[in-house]
Structure 1
Amino acid sequence: MKKNLLALAAAVSCSFSQAAEKPNIVFIFTDDYSYECQGHLGMEAIQTPNLDRLAKDGTQFTNSYNMGAWAGAVCVASRTMINSGAFVNRAQKTIVEQPQWAELIRDGGYKTYMTGKWHVKKEPAFDVVKDVRGGMPKGSGYNRPVSREDFENGWQPWDIGEGGFWKGGTHWTEVVGDNSVEFINQAAEEEKPFFMYLSFNAPHDPRQSPKEYVDMYPVDDMKVPVNYLPEYPYRKEIGLPDNFRDERLAPYPRTDFAVQVHRREYFASITYLDYHMGRILDALEEHDMMDNTYIIFTADHGLSVGHHGLLGKQNMYEHSMRVPFIVKGPGVEKGKSIDTPIYLQDAMPTTLEWAGVEIPKHVEFKSVNALIAGEATEHYPAIYGKYINFQRMIRKGDWKLMMYPKASKKLRLFNLVKDPNEMNDLADNPEYTSKIEELKTDFKALQDVMGDELDLDNPTAPRAKNKK
C-alpha cells in the first residue's frame, strides 16, 4: 500500500513538472475573506468578476479551512502556519527554527517577491520585499452605526481624511496592485522563474474603499444573514468579552441595520480588491505568462460580519473557518470543484511540488496536487480547529462538533450537509449521543497528532497524552 502511494505521488508530481519547466507561481492572499463572498457561487449578491474568471479557468476547493489560532489575531497564526508549513500548535517554534516558504522556493531556483501584509514573527525572506504592511492600520469605524443618522453623518469608508487604509495617500489595496503589476512587467524581461507572494490587507477592517464601490451596494438592499442573532449566547465564555476588538465594531446588541451597513462596506472592499486582482491577471496575460504560471487565490480565514451575532473570526463556524481556495495553471482542470476538505496552508507544499523542491520533514501540511489531478479523493481523516483554550472543533464527513470547555463544557453539533448555515444544534438531542461520543474520540486522537495539550474535561490542567 505504501509503495502504491509513493508511486502515485511521484506520478502526480511528474505530471505537474512536465507541464512546464520551472513554472512561475503567483500566490494571492487576502485577509478576512469568507468563502461565501465569491460571486460565482451565488451565495451572496456580491460582484467579483475577476475571482469568477479565475474559478472558471481553474479548479476550486469548496471546503478549505484555517486550522485556528493561539491568540485573537487569527491572521498571525494562519500566516505563520502557511510560511512555516507547520500545524497550529507547532508553527510558532517552526517559523523561527526552520527555513520559511520563500527560502525553500528560492533554493529551487526562483526569484521571490512579496508585497503587502506580512504579520509573521520572522522577517520576510524574499529576494524583493516592497511596502510591507502590518496587521491593520489605525483607524475609526468602531461601535457604528448606532442609528441611521450616525450612518449618514458619521465615519465614511471613502473619506481619505480618516486614515486607515488611505494612510500614505494611496489605498493599500491599490498599492499592492501597483506593486504587483510593476514586478510582472520587470519579470517579463528576465528568464528566471518567479514566486510572488501578494498579500492584500483587504477586506480586513476598517472596511474602506472608494465611494463608487460602496455605492454599488445600497444599504437598504443588503440582506441580513439567515443565521443572524442580536447577540451570541456564549460570546463571553468562548473568549469574546465586551471589549474584544473585532466584536466592538458594531454596537451591542446587534441590529439588522448595523449588520447591513457592515456587510455593505465588507462587500465593497472585496469588489475593490477584485478590481486590482484583475489588473494582476491582465498583466500576466499581456506578457503571455499564463500558460506557464500557477496561481492560488485564498485567504487567511473568513469572517462573521453578522452571522450568529458575531463580527469577527474568533469562532469555529463555517463563515469564519472556511475560505476561498482556487488554483489555476498548467494541467489544472478548468471549471472543476473539489469538495474534499483541505487546509488553506496546503498551498505551501503544493507550490513546492510545482517548483520541483523536495518537501522538508518539518512541513506538516499536504500538497493538493493529487486531488487536482483526480488521482486521490481523500486528504485528511478529519479537520481540526482551535481558538486558544476557549474553543475546539472537529469536522469529519458531514458532521461538525464544536466544544466550549470553559462554557460548562458546552457542545454544539451540526450536520453541515443538511444544515449548512449551522442553525440546528443537535448536541442536546439524545438521538445523537453516540455521534457526539464518536466525534469526541476522534478529536482526542487528533489532539495527539496536533500536539494539543488542552484537557477538554479540565481546561485549566494540561492534558494527559494517550499511551501508545
Structure 2
Amino acid sequence: MQDRPINQLILMTDEHTRKVLGCYGNKIVKTPHIDSLAREGTLFENAYTNVPICVPARASFATGDYAHRSHHWDNATPYFGTPSSWGNELQKAGITVGSIGKLHYRNSDDDVGLDFQKIPMHVVNGTGDVLGCVREPLPKRWKSLSMAEKIGPGETDYNIYDRQVATEAIDWLATDGKQKKPWVLFVSMVAPHFPLIAPQEFYDLYDKLGLMPTKPRESPEHPWHHAMRNCQIMDNFTSERTRVALASYYGLVTFIDDLIGKILGAVEQNGLGDNTQIFYLSDHGDNIGERDLWGKSNFYEESVGIPCIIKGPGIPVEKTVKTPVSLIDVCPTILKTAGITPEAKPGTSLVDLANAEDNLDRLVFSEYHAVGSATGAFMIRKGQWKLVYYVSMQPQLFNLADDPEELHDLGANPKHEGIRRQLEAGLRSICDPEAVDAMAKADQMAIVNANGGIEAVVAKGGFGATPPPGVNAEFMNQK
C-alpha cells in the first residue's frame, strides 16, 4: 500500500506507430529510454487509437469515451470541454492537473479540466481543418504532396517546439513537481509527426541503411482506400524519397526518445520516481510508406496501432500484456490511480489489466470519419481477428495471427462469413454505423456551410499539419 499519493506523468507523442520501437520488436530503431520504461513496467502489445487522426483521437483520450458519442469526427471538431474530461474529475478532487505542449483542443479558454496549459498547441484559429469536412465529393488535397518534399536532415518548427516542451516539463518537475500535493501532468510532443525532417545527428543514424522494404499496395485496391489515395495526393514519392523519409521518421523517433530520456531523468533527479505512475502513448500511428501510404487515416496496424507502456507503483515489471487496449482505457487508469471512481464508460484501468491474466477476446473499437473518407469506417479487433466495416462498401477482414502484415483480405471470403457476422454484431453493440455515418456527414456539412460552403472551403484549400504556437498555417489552394 502506498504511503504517499501517486503522481501521474502522461507522455504522449504524435503519429508514432508501435512498429518503430525497440521494445515492440524493431531491430533497427534506437529507443533506449522508452525501451527502459517498458522493462521497468508493463507493455501492452495490442494497443490502438480510437480514431486514427489527431483531433478526435485526443477528444477520446480526454473523455474516455468513443468520439462518435460526443460528435468529435475530424480535425475541425476539436474538444472544447464537453463531455467532461478526466481533468475535470481530478480538479473536483483537489488534485493539481496541467498540460505542457500539444493538446489540439479548440483553444486555451475552454474549461477542459486543466489548471494550467503551458505552451499549448491548439487547432488553427479555433476551427481546424474545415477542408476535411468536405466528403461528398472528396476534394483533392494537394498539400499532401509536401509530405514527399519536406524530408531529410534539418530543423523544423516542430523540432524547436518539442525541445521547448521537454524543457518546460523538466523545469516543472524540478519546482512544482516536488510539492507534496499529488499531481497529474500531461506532456505532449509532436515528433515523429510529419514533416519528416529530423535533426542532423538523429537523421545520420539511419541515412546509410538503404531502402527498407515496404509492403505493396493492395491488388485490387479496396475502393475506400482508392478514394483516400485520390483525395490525399502523395504520388510524388520515389524510391529515394521513400528512403529519405523513412530515415527521417526513424531519426525523429530517436530524437523524441532522447527528449523523453531527459524528462524521465528529471523524475528521478527530483526524487519522484518511487511514487509516480508514468505512461508512454501516442495519439495514433503512421503508415510509414507501407502500401505507398504516409500519415494515418486508415485501420492498418501501422496507422491504428500505438505504443502503450505504463510504469509505477503496483504495476508489474517486465511484463507484456496481450489483452487489446485503446486510448479510452487511459481515463479510468488516471482516475482510479487518483482514488476516484470513474463513471461508467467503455474503458478499463490499464493497471487492472496489467495485473490480470490476458483476455485475448477483449473487444477494441476504432472509427474514422475524417479527411479522405468516402464513407464512415469502423474497426473491431477481437482475438486474432480484425474487421474493418465500411458503410455501403465491402468489409475487410484480417487474421492477425496468420497474417500479421495484413496482406490477405478475407472480407469477401465465404468461408469466413460466420466470423464477419460475429464481429459486425460486436460493432453494432457499440453503435449503428449507418446512423453514425449520417450524423457525421450532417455535422460536417453544417461546419462547411458555416465557413462559406463547399466551393469556398475547397478554394481556400488545406494547410497540412497544425503549426506550433506563434507559427502561421500555410494554406495550399486548389489547383
2:429 aligns to what? 445
| Structure 2 residue corresponding to 1:298, chosen from 258, 275, 281 | 281
Would the aligned equivalents of 1:36 and 1:44 in 2 still touch at CA under 8 Å? no
Shift of 1:183: 0.2
Matches within 5 A, 1:291-370: 291-361=274-344, 363-370=345-352
2:188 is aligned with 1:199: yes
Q: Aligned partners of 1:175, 1:228: CA distance in 2, in Å?
A: 38
Do the aligned partners of residues 333 and 401 (structure 1) sit closer, same or farther apart at CA in structure 2, a change above 3 Å counting?
same
Do the aligned partners of residues 156 and 414 (structure 1) sit closer, same or farther apart at CA in structure 2, a change above 3 Å counting?
closer
Would the aligned equivalents of 1:383 and 1:394 in 2 still touch at CA under 8 Å? yes
1:129 aligns to what? 117
1:143 aligns to what? 145
* Residue-by-residue CA offset, 1:376-426 (whole Å, 9 max, x unaligned): 5449742222212332222221111223335xx222221101111101122
Shift of 1:103: 2.3
Would the aligned equivalents of 1:394 and 1:401 in 2 still touch at CA under 8 Å? yes
Note the residue ranges of structure 2 that are not aligned, 5 or more in a row.
Answer: 73-78, 130-141, 370-374, 443-479
Q: Aligned partners of 2:10, 2:218: CA distance in 1, in Å?
A: 37
Q: Aligned partners of 2:143, 2:213: CA distance in 1, in Å?
A: 20
2:68 is aligned with 1:89: yes
Do the aligned partners of residues 221 and 178 (structure 1) sit closer, same or farther apart at CA in structure 2, a change above 3 Å counting?
same
* Residue-by-residue CA offset, 1:403-459 (whole Å, 9 max, x unaligned): 3335xx2222211011111011223333223322332333323325xx872489xx9
* Residue-by-residue CA offset, 1:330-377 (whole Å, 9 max, x unaligned): 11111100000111221111011111112134x442212221222x54
2:367 is aligned with 1:386: yes
Do the aligned partners of residues 426 and 380 (structure 1) sit closer, same or farther apart at CA in structure 2, a change above 3 Å counting?
closer
- The worse-fitting range, judged by mean Cα deviation, of 51-60 and 128-137 is 128-137
Q: Aligned partners of 1:90, 1:238: CA distance in 2, in Å?
A: 28
Do the aligned partners of residues 222 and 335 (structure 1) sit closer, same or farther apart at CA in structure 2, a change above 3 Å counting?
farther
Do the aligned partners of residues 237 and 36 (structure 1) sit closer, same or farther apart at CA in structure 2, a change above 3 Å counting?
closer
Q: Aligned partners of 2:7, 2:412: CA distance in 1, in Å?
A: 51
| Structure 1 residue corresponding to 2:413, chosen from 429, 432, 450 | 429
Q: Aligned partners of 2:322, 2:402: CA distance in 1, in Å?
A: 15
2:7 is aligned with 1:21: no
3-state secondary structure, aligned to 1:114: strand
Do the aligned partners of residues 264 and 20 (structure 1) sit closer, same or farther apart at CA in structure 2, a change above 3 Å counting?
farther
Shift of 1:158: 4.3
2:471 aligns to what? none
1:269 aligns to what? 252
Would the aligned equivalents of 2:47 and 2:325 in 1 still touch at CA under 8 Å? yes
Percent of pairs identical after alignment?
A: 26
Question: How many residue pairs align between the two structures?
Answer: 413
The one-letter code sitting in structure 1 at the alignment partner of 2:303 is S
Q: Aligned partners of 1:141, 1:156: CA distance in 2, in Å?
A: 14
Shift of 1:257: 2.9
1:77 aligns to what? 56
Q: Aligned partners of 2:415, 2:218: CA distance in 1, in Å?
A: 30
Would the aligned equivalents of 1:75 and 1:119 in 2 still touch at CA under 8 Å? yes
Q: Aligned partners of 2:223, 2:413: CA distance in 1, in Å?
A: 22
2:386 is aligned with 1:400: yes
Q: Aligned partners of 2:378, 2:278: CA distance in 1, in Å?
A: 32
Do the aligned partners of residues 134 and 121 (structure 1) sit closer, same or farther apart at CA in structure 2, a change above 3 Å counting?
closer
3-state secondary structure, aligned to 2:409: coil
2:99 is aligned with 1:106: no
| Structure 2 residue corresponding to 1:51, chosen from 34, 47, 50 | 34
2:242 is aligned with 1:259: yes
Q: Aligned partners of 1:357, 1:321: CA distance in 2, in Å?
A: 30
Do the aligned partners of residues 20 and 222 (structure 1) sit closer, same or farther apart at CA in structure 2, a change above 3 Å counting?
farther
3-state secondary structure, aligned to 2:395: strand
1:10 aligns to what? none
3-state secondary structure, aligned to 1:51: helix
Note the residue ranges of structure 1 that are not aligned, 5 or more in a row.
Answer: 1-17, 147-153, 462-468
* Residue-by-residue CA offset, 1:68-94 (whole Å, 9 max, x unaligned): 26xxxx111111111122212113479
Shift of 1:232: 8.2
Would the aligned equivalents of 2:9 and 2:276 in 1 still touch at CA under 8 Å? yes
Q: Aligned partners of 1:373, 1:117: CA distance in 2, in Å?
A: 31
Q: Aligned partners of 1:392, 1:155: CA distance in 2, in Å?
A: 31
Q: Aligned partners of 2:364, 2:324: CA distance in 1, in Å?
A: 7
Would the aligned equivalents of 2:105 and 2:122 in 1 still touch at CA under 8 Å? no
Do the aligned partners of residues 189 and 327 (structure 1) sit closer, same or farther apart at CA in structure 2, a change above 3 Å counting?
closer
Q: Aligned partners of 1:431, 1:40: CA distance in 2, in Å?
A: 36
1:179 aligns to what? 168
Do the aligned partners of residues 125 and 431 (structure 1) sit closer, same or farther apart at CA in structure 2, a change above 3 Å counting?
closer
Shift of 1:260: 2.0
CA RMSD of aligned residues (A): 3.1
Shift of 1:180: 0.5
Q: Aligned partners of 1:29, 1:434: CA distance in 2, in Å?
A: 38
The one-letter code sitting in structure 2 at the alignment partner of 1:301 is H
2:11 is aligned with 1:32: no
2:390 is aligned with 1:415: no
2:450 aligns to what? none
- The worse-fitting range, judged by mean Cα deviation, of 85-94 and 343-352 is 85-94
* Residue-by-residue CA offset, 1:269-317 (whole Å, 9 max, x unaligned): 1110100100011011112211100001111111102112211211111
Instruction: Normalising by structure 1, report the TM-score.
Output: 0.80
2:341 is aligned with 1:371: no
- The worse-fitting range, judged by mean Cα deviation, of 97-106 and 75-84 is 97-106
3-state secondary structure, aligned to 2:292: coil
Would the aligned equivalents of 1:302 and 1:321 in 2 still touch at CA under 8 Å? yes
The one-letter code sitting in structure 1 at the alignment partner of 2:419 is K
Q: Aligned partners of 2:37, 2:51: CA distance in 1, in Å?
A: 27
